[in-house]
Each structure stands twice: as C-alpha cells, then as structure tokens.
Structure 1
Amino acid sequence: MDRDKKYVWFSLSVLFICAGICAGVRDVCGEALKRNKVLPINVAGIELEIELATTSEEQILGLMYRDTLDDDGGMLFVFPKEKHVSFWMKNTRIPLSIAFIKADGRIMQIESMKPYSLDSHVSREKVKYALEMKDGWFQARKVKEGDIVRIPQAFDGKGE
C-alpha cells in the first residue's frame, strides 16, 4: 500500500509539473499571437497604434486564432510593392473590416469579413497596404473610401 501511495504522489507531481509547463507555453505562444511590431498611424485624422504584418509568416497568421481585439486595435499588412491582394477569414474568430490602401495612403476599398469564412476579399486595384480592424470600425468612425491613412515616412515596409 505504501508503494501505491508513492506512485500516486509521483504521478500527481508529474501531472502538475506538466500542467505548469503547458500553461507557460500557452501564455508565451498566446502572447506571440497577440502582438507583432507596432506602428503609430493616422487613419482619416484618428491616431492609432497598429500591429504590423510585414513578413510572409506574419501575413499568413494575421489575426487568426484570437478571441478578442481592442476597440482601436488592428493589423496593417505591408507589401513590398503595390499588387492585387486577397484575404480570407479561415481560422479567424473575430468579425473584421478591411481597408485596401494605395502606396500614397488613399483608402480604395472597405469590406466586411465574416469569421471563419473562406470567401475571398480581393482588392479591386493594386495596393501597398491592407488594414484590418474590428467589423464596423470604419463605418462607426465615418472613415470612407478616398480618406487618407498616414504611415510614418521612416517606415520602409521591410520590417524593423
């Protein structure tokens, strides 16, 4: 019986240690999902600090797997040059709106995107940037096509 108690205590100890390690990994990985590099931008006169997605890996992950997004939080996708871009919402839990933006900062198109949808949202024109915000963000703040997004000139779009 004494040997069985030791086995139970040993097993419980291993279980708690593993649970602690898993919780730590989840917290670290979860934090990595939440924050990329941040850049201050101005969207039609509204000052924001937005996460950047400049690498292929960051752009593929985007805002997937997140349960929440700050009211003025979002992600700016930066492409090396203007091109037609396409977005979908696979594995994205939060309803989003996307603005497709030319190199000069002009918003060319704004669309709503539904969580988990495989529908493609394609820019009608070649764009340098795409800005994802909570669904309805642009409408609620009266930001419309033709408005200007100001991105710091020092930012070269190649990651920092």
Structure 2
Amino acid sequence: MRKQRSLVVHARTAVLAALLPLVFATGHAQEGPQTNLPRVPLAAGMYQIDAQVALTPAQRQIGLMNRPEMPPQEGMLFVFEEPATQCFWMKNTLLPLTAAFVADDGTIVNLADMKPQTLDSHCSGKPVRFVLEMHQGWFAKKGIKAGFRLTGKPFQAGAR
C-alpha cells in the first residue's frame, strides 16, 4: 500500500511539473500590476472615485498586487456574483489600503485598514457583493464611515 501511495504522489508531481510551463506560457501568472481593467466612476458624496473593476476570479485574486503607486482618487471595485462574507488580505500588495465592504445599494457595511504585504484577514460584517479598495485613510480624511452610501452604476437596481 505504501509503495502504491508513493507512485501516486510521484505521478501527481510529474503532472504538475508538466503543467507549470503551460500555466506560465498562457499568461495566467501575473508579474506586474494589473492596470488595464475596465473603469467605472463612483461617488462618495461630492468626492469622485475612478474605480478599476475586478469582475473575474483571476482579476479579483490579483487585485492591486505589485502596484507601487496609485493616484489618490483611484481605487479598485471588486464585484462578486452573490452576496457573501468577503475576506481580503494583502499578499504582494505594496500600498496600504482601506477596504470598504459595500452592500448592493452602495451602503458601506464596514471599513478595514489593511497593512501591505500581510496575510491578515479583513472581512465584511455581513454578506456583500462589492468591496472598494482605496488608499488607506482616504475614507477617514473625507469623514466617510460605515452607513455612508456610495453612488454609481454598480449600485443602481438595474445593474444587478
């Protein structure tokens, strides 16, 4: 039995070793920052936000990783298929960020400050479909807290 398990482990290792070059050759590995995503204008009261939109699982996984800088009014809106407890971390993320966990109608459920390059988990206080990441302190400097309502096309009833 032990010999049979060993053969299975070696077979799996061989398959993974054969597939790795294909994964990297097809562009699924992201080396640099993701800066070419579609954008959507959002507003937080009188403040305008230029949000890149991460829609796919791959786009959401990469997020703002490896990005050395970002304009102050820019952020990233993560859009999920269904409301769920969303949890974020900062692996390979160079900028300190604040995550706003946002309900379908644009109401901020909770905010979480996140330190760069950590694996600390930051989760929504209740199920949400949207998470907006901005520079850390952006919301606080503008007096925006949980309960504040963001506006923009993603939060309109017809957009769901």
TM-score calculated relative to the size of structure 2? 0.75
> How far did residue 39 of structure 1 move?
0.3
The one-letter code sitting in structure 1 at the alignment partner of 2:81 is P
Match of 1:122 in 2: 123
> How many pairs are equivalent?
128
Match of 1:74 in 2: 75
Match of 1:146 in 2: 147
Question: Quick one: distance in 2 between partners of 1:45 and 1:129?
Answer: 21
Tell me if the contact between 2:102 and 2:128 (Cα under 8 Å) persists in the aligned partners.
yes
Query: Runs of 4+ in structure 1 displaced over 2 angstroms?
Result: 153-157
> How far did residue 154 of structure 1 move?
8.3
CA RMSD of aligned residues (A): 1.8
- CA spacing shift, 1:155–1:92, aligned 2, 3 Å: farther
Give 5+ residue unaligned stretches, structure 2. 1-30
The one-letter code sitting in structure 1 at the alignment partner of 2:111 is I
> How far did residue 56 of structure 1 move?
0.5
Equivalent runs, 1:6-155 vs 2, <5 Å: 30=32, 33-152=34-153, 153=156
Tell me if the contact between 2:48 and 2:73 (Cα under 8 Å) persists in the aligned partners.
no
Give 5+ residue unaligned stretches, structure 1. 1-28
Question: Quick one: distance in 2 between partners of 1:59 and 1:35?
Answer: 13
- Alignment deviations for residues 82-109 of structure 1 (CA, whole Å, 9 cap, x no partner): 1111100000000000100011111010
> How far did residue 156 of structure 1 move?
3.6
The one-letter code sitting in structure 2 at the alignment partner of 1:74 is G
User: Which structure: larger Rg?
Assistant: 1
- Alignment deviations for residues 49-81 of structure 1 (CA, whole Å, 9 cap, x no partner): 210001101100000001001111110001112
> How far did residue 128 of structure 1 move?
1.4
Match of 1:17 in 2: none
Tell me if the contact between 2:85 and 2:126 (Cα under 8 Å) persists in the aligned partners.
yes
- CA spacing shift, 1:138–1:53, aligned 2, 3 Å: same
Question: Quick one: distance in 2 between partners of 1:61 and 1:86?
Answer: 14
> How far did residue 47 of structure 1 move?
2.0
